[in-house]
Amino acid sequence: MARLRVTKQFDWEMAHALDGHDGKCHNIHGHTYELSVTFLGTPIDDPGNPKDGMVIDFSDLKSIVKDNIVKRFDHALVLRNNSRFLDKITEDDNERLILTDYQPTCEMMLLEYVEIIQSQLKGIKNVSLHSARLRETKTSFAEWFANDN
Ligand SMILES: Nc1nc2c(c(=O)[nH]1)N=C([C@H](O)[C@H](O)COP(=O)(O)OP(=O)(O)OP(=O)(O)O)CN2
């Protein structure tokens, strides 16, 4: 059977700061992030199986991303764990403060999301993560492709 790709898109609101950046992005600011995830696989050929004809059920894909990424990052403030803002903002002030051990750029956050998604796919045969795109603004996004890695 032919292999093909299926894609699902998600979005959420999130703030971040790029400490040390030489432009305006060193300030705390927010974006509507859009994550697009594409899976490659062969449709299940098993009449009677509830997933017959699907590479991966869009609903299962939704659960993977919503439960593990969107629920955690939506309306979060993402700061590097040595951010200068940590003198002023704590989890008491902002219950959705997420600290990262990397600079929270579009690229680095996308790498974290790819790792999360891949860990959730372990044990699922016939399908793999093909690519993912994280859009930060109307004109800026980062992309990851399995073939590049
Ligand atoms: N390679 C990266 N460069 C920048 C990142 C990033 O994550 N990776 N992030 C920022 C800022 O956080 C923010 O996204 C601003 O980006 P920019 O595209 O410059 O946004 P603008 O709205 O100013 O751009 P327009 O072209 O006017 O839409 C900066 N760089």
- What CATH number should be reported for the domain holding residue 63? 3.30.479.10
pLDDT higher than 90, residue 26? yes
Catalytic residue chosen out of the listed positions 13, 21, 29, 75: 75
CB neighbour list of residue 86: distance below 8 Å, 6 or more residues apart: 79, 99
For residue 77, what pLDDT is reported?
Answer: 97
Phi, psi for 100 (deg, rounded to 5): -115, 155
Ligand 1 site residues, Cβ closer than 6 angstroms? 18, 25, 105-107, 136-140
Is the alpha carbon torsion for 110, 111, 113, 114 positive or negative?
A: positive
Residue nearest to atom 3 of ligand 1 (CA): 105
pLDDT higher than 90, residue 94? no
**ipTM for the whole complex:** 0.91
- What is the atom index within ligand 1 of the atom nearest the CA of 31? 14
pTM: 0.95
**Token digits for 14?**
């999130």
pLDDT tier, 124 (very low <50, low <70, confident <90, very high otherwise): confident
pLDDT digits (tens, 9 = 90+) for 66-93: 999 999 999 999 999 999 999 999 888 8
Residue nearest to atom 13 of ligand 1 (CA): 25
Cα gap 114→108, rounded to integer Å: 10
Over residues 46-55, mean pLDDT: 95
Closest CA to 144 of 126, 130, 132, 127: 132
Is the alpha carbon torsion for 103, 105, 107, 109 positive or negative?
A: positive
- What is the atom index within ligand 1 of the atom nearest the CA of 109? 7
Catalytic residue chosen out of the listed positions 25, 26, 34, 143: 25
pLDDT higher than 90, residue 135? yes
For the chain, the domain total comes to: 1
Active site (annotated) includes residue 106: no
Q: Provide the domain limits for residue 62.
A: 4-148
